[in-house]
Amino acid sequence: MMKFLKIFEVVYLVIAIISIFEVIRSWGADSDRAYLFLLFGVVSLGMFFFRRFYRKRIEKRKQQ
């Protein structure tokens, strides 16, 4: 179970990195698309930190 939680954390981080790369790439040409990918990047980064916090809380609970 913990393996899957770690994998999903990494997936959210990869999505955030790809989204930020797309923001940089399309900033000058299509600003609407850039803002959409910026939103995806911020949400994915937030989900990464939320999932990591949640996983660590579960691991701590299992150790006790």
Cα distance between residue 22 and residue 6, in whole Å:
25
Q: Report the pLDDT value the prediction gives residue 14, as an integer from 0 to 100.
A: 95
Q: Report the pLDDT value the prediction gives residue 6, as an integer from 0 to 100.
A: 87
- Which sequence spans correspond to the domains of the chain? 2-59
pTM here is 0.82
Residue 2 has pLDDT above 80, yes or no: no
Task: Judge contact between 51 and 12, C-beta under 8 A.
Answer: yes
Confidence of residue 64 (pLDDT cuts 50, 70, 90): confident
Cα distance between residue 43 and residue 35, in whole Å:
12
> Which residues fall within 8 angstroms of residue 47, CB to CB, at 6 or more apart?
12
63: exposed, middle or buried (C-beta count within 10 Å: 0-12, 13-18, 19+)? exposed
Query: Tens digit of pLDDT for each residue in 5-61?
Result: 889 999 999 999 999 999 999 988 988 899 999 999 999 999 999 999 998 998 899
